[in-house]
Amino acid sequence: MAKIRKAVTVILRLIALAATVVAVVIMVTSKETAHVLNLTFTAKFTHTPAFKYYVVAEAIAGVYTIVALLLSSKSLLSRLILILDVVMAMVLTSSISAALAIAQVGKHGNSHAGWLPICGQVPHYCDKLIISLVAGFVAALVYLLLLVYTLRAALSPVFAIKS
């Protein structure tokens, strides 16, 4: 049973690692230049603080995942890993929320604030953002699944039925 638990944990961590790497690489490489009314502007992730936060959070989660994969679940650090899994799940959730909010404004604008949508002028940039955000959402979901699975495994001896 312990081997199955370890295998499931490793698989979930590898999926989360792949999703965070894809999210970071695609977001960092997203850049497009547009010409509107004789003006030239470039859209890239560094122009938006929410996207910077998203990239940093995804990168931290990716590095943490590598460290967690290298540490043994039998070590004394297993409780710390559980706590850090909670932190990573919340950091990923907050970063994807912030990035999705800005992406929604970029796609649809905000008529009340007078913000115009930009995805009509930089469609390839917006397409890459969507792919990155989907990968980030997958990473957040996998971390939530990992958290539930790890908590269940950690708490099962506490709630075991004695006969």
pTM: predicted TM-score of the whole model, two decimal places? 0.87
What is the predicted pLDDT for the residue at 95?
Answer: 95
What is the predicted pLDDT for the residue at 75?
Answer: 65
Cα 68 from chain centroid (whole Å) = 16
- 156's tokens: 């099962």
Angle, alpha carbons 15-20-21 (nearest 5°):
100
CA atoms of 91 and 16, how far apart (whole Å): 14
What is the predicted pLDDT for the residue at 96?
Answer: 95
> Tokens 């115009």 label which residue?
116
User: What is the mean pLDDT of each successive set of 10 residues along the chain, which is 163 residues long?
Assistant: 82 95 95 84 88 96 93 72 91 95 88 83 91 96 91 69 58
